[in-house]
Structure 1
């Protein structure tokens, strides 16, 4: 079904769920072997997209790709991180070689390194900035070139964090700075690429369940203490679950968000509101 302007207001659409339809779209996901990247891959595969998955862990990438193929998606994998311009170009070329085009980019690659500023070396700080800022910028650049050449718009979704807006007392100078930079890139590209019909947005979660954070959901003394300190600052009173990221992701990857660009969407239970 094709939506015309004002179709909802005029009563011309029977099923608003078509707004979230990504069937047949070609989605590139970097960091697909990590927690959010794997989630993004499985969500978009289940929604009918075809995928190009990149990541540095070949075994984990293969498992995610198998899950997506079992959901009916056509999947191409490339064991590569966007560390250099050539890497980003190769990831885009893998999509074009397999599918002829690209429609959606989700950049989920990145890292954290926690240390007080007096203890952190510049090399460690720079590694976080390279992974969390330079890599996404390179992927956005490569994707922009492809989308502009195609001439029919597209979707770029970057991964931010509540820490792009808020500080942290436990040695997060590199991580907070990197996510603040992502927010700036999103705003700048939202303005720069709007004329091409390309939307650029970010998802910014607080803590959500993953292999790295599973301990926070346990009943250990450490976990209970951590939650007791954190949950009073989250208005909805709980930590995040994967489903809490799936909805925002599908929104930002589909035409439901065609009038949204330059936004950081906080999937944080209200954490950054207070």
Structure 2
């Protein structure tokens, strides 16, 4: 039997690709920048905080990673068009879009105002839809396919008893958007998938990794549901991300990849 001619280096190669990273200064956004940038992609990094964005661009440059900064959030059609235009101007097009931004607002439903609920939906769903729309239009016009990766969550599949109605609803909507666009854009060679993490190490979750009474109790209760027996690390997101942004995932679209140590499996 002749072995199939599979060049794994080519399969996972994103060198020279133009990648837009929405929410680049956030915890997952920095993982995206490090993963794609170290693999040779050219980045367009976006965020709402100009100071943090400039600091990130300088750090990336110091590590030999090419990045163009756009101080915008995907709040409006004009914002999204400007972000895409920056990628076209800097690198000649858009090959990869990663939506790494998102917010949560914890509150029991009877305490959560409609305005607070809508703020979560606007950030997590409307922004993702608007940005995908703008980037997808450019990808289709280019005629060479593309990669779109949304950020979902284990909470898109599972509920939560402690006031997560806004967050869980928004992430379920992201899952639906992923599947729908995967079907809609497959004919254009554009794959659309989502990474759905559970708790992974970041400034917001650092307390769960500490060894003290409260953190240990919370962590042990959580880990009872995680088959691999630990919390997530940033590199646990890097592998699935590179897969979804490279040729290796050309036959995978409309999928939610749970980077959760098996949390949603049981």
Q: Same fold by TM (over 0.5)?
A: yes
Shift of 1:58: 1.7
Tell me whether 1:193 sits opposite 2:185 in the alignment.
yes
Q: For 1:15 and 1:253, locate their aligned partners in 2 and report how far apart those are by CA, in whole Å.
A: 17
Partner SS for 1:39: helix
**Structure 1 counterpart of 2:109:** 117
**Structure 2 counterpart of 1:101:** 93
Q: For 1:71 and 1:226, locate their aligned partners in 2 and report how far apart those are by CA, in whole Å.
A: 37
**Structure 1 counterpart of 2:49:** 57
**Structure 2 counterpart of 1:237:** 229
Give the length in aligned residue pairs: 266
Shift of 1:10: 4.9
Q: For 1:14 and 1:265, locate their aligned partners in 2 and report how far apart those are by CA, in whole Å.
A: 24
The one of 37, 44, 67 equivalent to 1:75 is 67
Shift of 1:222: 1.6
Shift of 1:72: 2.4
**Structure 2 counterpart of 1:89:** 81
Shift of 1:14: 6.6
Whether the aligned pair in 2 keeps the contact of 1:48 and 1:72 (CA below 8 Å) is no
Give the TM-score, by structure 2 length.
0.97
Q: For 2:83 and 2:128, locate their aligned partners in 1 and report how far apart those are by CA, in whole Å.
A: 12
The one of 221, 233, 250 equivalent to 2:213 is 221
Q: For 2:63 and 2:10, locate their aligned partners in 1 and report how far apart those are by CA, in whole Å.
A: 20
Whether the aligned pair in 2 keeps the contact of 1:42 and 1:67 (CA below 8 Å) is no
Whether the aligned pair in 2 keeps the contact of 1:41 and 1:64 (CA below 8 Å) is no
**Structure 2 counterpart of 1:30:** 22
Shift of 1:220: 1.9
**Structure 1 counterpart of 2:144:** 152
Structure 2 matches for 1:148-187, cutoff 5 A?
148-187=140-179
Q: For 1:72 and 1:12, locate their aligned partners in 2 and report how far apart those are by CA, in whole Å.
A: 35
Q: For 2:160 and 2:130, locate their aligned partners in 1 and report how far apart those are by CA, in whole Å.
A: 27
Q: After superposition, give the CA deviation of every residue in 1:40-85 in whole Å (9 maximum; x if it has no partner).
A: 0111110000000000122222222223223322210011100111
**Structure 1 counterpart of 2:238:** 246
Q: For 1:126 and 1:181, locate their aligned partners in 2 and report how far apart those are by CA, in whole Å.
A: 13
Shift of 1:236: 0.5
The one of 240, 252, 255 equivalent to 1:263 is 255
Q: For 1:125 and 1:112, locate their aligned partners in 2 and report how far apart those are by CA, in whole Å.
A: 9
Instruction: Note the residue ranges of structure 2 that are not aligned, 5 or more in a row.
Output: none
Instruction: Note the residue ranges of structure 1 that are not aligned, 5 or more in a row.
Output: 1-8
Whether the aligned pair in 2 keeps the contact of 1:155 and 1:200 (CA below 8 Å) is yes
Shift of 1:107: 0.4
**Structure 1 counterpart of 2:125:** 133
Whether the aligned pair in 2 keeps the contact of 1:53 and 1:78 (CA below 8 Å) is yes
Whether the aligned pair in 2 keeps the contact of 1:162 and 1:266 (CA below 8 Å) is yes
Partner SS for 2:184: helix
